[in-house]
Chains A and B, each alone.
Chain A
Amino acid sequence: MENDRLEIARLYHRFGFGPRPGEFKAALVNGLNATKTALLSVPAVDLGATKVPEPNIINLGTRPAQKSSELIEFSIALRQQIKDLPLWWLDRMALSDHALTERMTWFWHGHWATAVGKLNHAYPMYLQNQTLRKYALGNFGEMTSAMLNDGALQFWLDGGENTAKSPNENLARELMELFVLGVNRYTETDVRELSRALTGYQIERSSGKVTINNRRFDPGVKTILGSSTNFNGNSAAAHLVTQNDCAKFIVERIWFRFISSQLPVESAAQLESAFTTRDTSKLITAITDSKILSNSNYTIVKAPVEWFIGVARFLDLTPSSLKTPGQLLAYLDKLAQVPFNPPNVGGWPTDESWLSSASAQTRIQFASWLIKQADLTNLAAIEPNKRIAWLQDELGILAFSGRTRLALNGVKTNPAQLLQLAICSPEYVVSA
């Protein structure tokens, strides 16, 4: 029964957000293949996700003038929406039955890293999140085309300011460097030419509506990565996606976030060929089918949101129902990761960046706050001497070390403290 424990633990923690009560033990019995099939089969309806009501996030319209009487009401509504948006998504992550879809949506959010602060409207960010979910396991070319027409991304990278008369390179550069090809896989001339192809977009800030203004579009011939034609945004993006470097780059980025941000890609050619059609689900399947999953060198630190959702799933907590949700967002902010608010267009950092002593301190307090709001009946019902082994299986941990067993043993008669130490232990914070 203990065969494939590492692989199954990784499927749960990296391709999902950690097991719910009983899930990991059942998966060990069912075996690796059955667990993998369940993970990769997207259900027609996700009953868990349907329990999360859609948030009340609407287009608030143009910001009223300074000192006008409508401004206060507008600001209150906006602030509420900007708070509701991450809570809604955290609920989906915690309650979805098919965790891979949310996990991939989360990956793509860090990939097309857009923060709400500059836009200062929640509605277009909500639309972007739906786009990311729609294509989460779909075709990357279609996703790129959809993102190019995404108001939140366009606004974030000054797309609306990019005109034939005077190109603004922000979007073009990041499209090549951070979204599709990777750094140094293009020339400065390619950046300038691509920015010409991306001219003409106009964005309505509050609705995120993107339109093309032909008078601002540069209709001339552009030479991008060796091809010359009168590219526009969609054809130029499609051209980028067909490059071999696109497969290389997406493989690298998925590797970086799911397998290891420390060690280089293994079996790159094999993974790139799985991505020939730009079908993301095929790439994920290729990774989970390969020996990569059983290579014990590929450890990775859970990012704060991943850690929190893992705990919430285990404890059956609904993030927006915690008291108070504002405190939840404050904890995540202290850990430097709030959904819809990446630190920069490169996305969140990885691994050691999450392991400062300040983060360790916050994690201990955060864990205590969560545990106080949870029902620990199941844990309390277990005989104290069996609790550590029980937690190891329930949390989906490969193996607690002797060090951690010793620490847990000291508090085994106190379920709350036992759990607090277990979820703050290096074996839970790091995915083995």
Chain B
Amino acid sequence: MDTLSRRKFLQLSGAAAVGAAAPLLTMENIAHAARTRPLPLGTPILIMVTLYGGNDGLNTVVPYTDPLYFSLRPDISYAPDKVLKLDDQLGLNPAMTGIKTMWDQQKVAIVRGVGYPKPDRSHFTSMAIWQSGAPVSRLSSGWLGRWVESQALDPMLAISLGSVLPPLLAGDKRSGSALPLGGLVIPTGTFAKDCQKLAKATSSDNKLMAAAATSMRTLFSVSNTITPVLKMPAPVADDLPTVNGGNAGGDSNLAQQLDVVAKLIAAGSPTRVWSVSLGGFDTHANEANAQAALLGTVSAALSRFASQMKNTPRGKDIVTMVYSEFGRRVQGNASQGTDHGTAGPVFLIGDRVKGGFYGDQPSLSKLTNGDLAVTTDFRDIYAAVLEDVLKSPAESVLSGWTSKGQYF
């Protein structure tokens, strides 16, 4: 890798987006946009759920009839009678009851063995590759950031929950926006006016000082008529303590993030892409309990979100995609955990999804260096999401990639 791209990856290792500075939104900004120019009914909405740390795919979609599964992972396998059976070979992790219900309703597509060529086992590099959508050219922008740049300028178009924008939504010149959780208290009165003066751009500002000034500007763009429900500060309780696997980034409050997303979608926010995340999947040790707790959180949060949306006119417009930067090594380690691996399953959920399995299940008897072979390139999924959900041409965003899956 040349110096420049290495630098870019080092920047990514700070877990923040590079490139264009992200506009920071307030609830009030979004509420105002939702009232004045709501998203037209029937416009598909994409929710990206990023699982940070490397989710163990084999214990998410379990090959419960494969003897190799049990012999390779004696300490951390799920017994056949415990898994939630999807067909006569595969079953979901027992904690994923909510997703199983949606599967039974034909609303869940599971794409198996998803990855990219020459897998990288660094959390930061692999997540950068997944989020850039460019495993070969290794762009520093995110694939949805490039999509944002292909659309008309609108800071509400793609929004990430939390104050730090993921590289996923970062473009070269324009980026998606970030919505910090928790209510903001805005200064008022004459002092507010003095604060506002600091927010003005000035020609002597360098790039970072200009960004510091901008960060104050958004504080004061308040609309006077705000939907009261949106004005409530979001609860701040974590879903669960991340005891194990908690050192590879990501947020810890998925349900809270999705609650906010649900409210804003219902209010009519003109947003077509939302990004939320959950961290803690780096389960090198004592995996079973930690991963089950996390998958249970994902499953419960997503089914709660679906039920919140079900009775709104936009419920049928929502497509949710769940992915992680890599799966884990097939063979368990001595610590009842697993090390960094390669391919893993991707979930697509929603009324528009044609439920079922896609892609081949990677064979446990044909491993590459102890790892699962990649059977589906993630760009096949990105292309389908771009064209069939976001109704935009995929080729330009994905550096000329043309093949796509048929999941919708």
Contact = CB atoms under 8 A, between A and B. Distances in A.
Interface in A332-389: 336, 343-353, 355-361, 364-365
A343 B180 CA distance: 16
Interface residues of A, number: 73
A211 interface: no
A158 B338 CA distance: 11
A161 B202 contact: no
B182 A158 contact: no
A382 B212 CA distance: 28
A356 B186 CA distance: 14
Contacts of A297: 206
A410 B340 contact: no
A345 B280 CA distance: 12
A115 B247 contact: yes
B388 to A, nearest CB: 33
B197 A349 contact: no
B155 interface: no
Contacts of A421: 194-195, 198
A158 B206 contact: no
Interface stretch (A47-55, A165-173, A309-317): A165-173
A188 interface: yes
Count class of interface residues, chain B:
35 or more
Nearest to A252: B10
A173 B186 contact: no
Interface string A253-289: 0001000011010000000000000000000000000
B332 A166 contact: yes
Contacts of B399: none
Contact of A118 (B178, B246, B339): B246
Given A168-B285, A183-B124, A118 B4 contact: no
Nearest to B24: A357
B6 A351 contact: no
B164 interface: yes
A361 B186 contact: yes
A141 B93 CA distance: 45
Given A356-B215, A410-B197, A427-B209, A361 B335 contact: no
Interface in B161-193: 163-164, 178, 180, 182, 184-187, 191, 193
Interface in B93-139: 121-125
B285 A264 contact: no
A23 interface: no
B14 A358 contact: no
B16 A353 contact: yes
Interface string B202-242: 10111111111111111100000000000000000000011
Interface of B: 1, 3-4, 6-7, 9-11, 13-17, 21-22, 24, 26, 121-125, 163-164, 178, 180, 182, 184-187, 191, 193-195, 197-198, 200-202, 204-219, 241-244, 246-249, 279, 282, 284-285, 331-335, 337, 339-340, 369
Q: Shortest 10 CB-CB distances between A and B: which pairs?
A: A161-B335, A166-B334, A358-B180, A407-B197, A426-B212, A403-B202, A349-B14, A426-B209, A349-B16, A357-B24
7 contacts: A117-B246, A169-B284, A183-B9, A350-B16, A357-B180, A403-B201, A429-B212
Given A350-B11, A424-B216, 5 more contacts: A117-B243, A344-B248, A358-B24, A403-B200, A406-B197
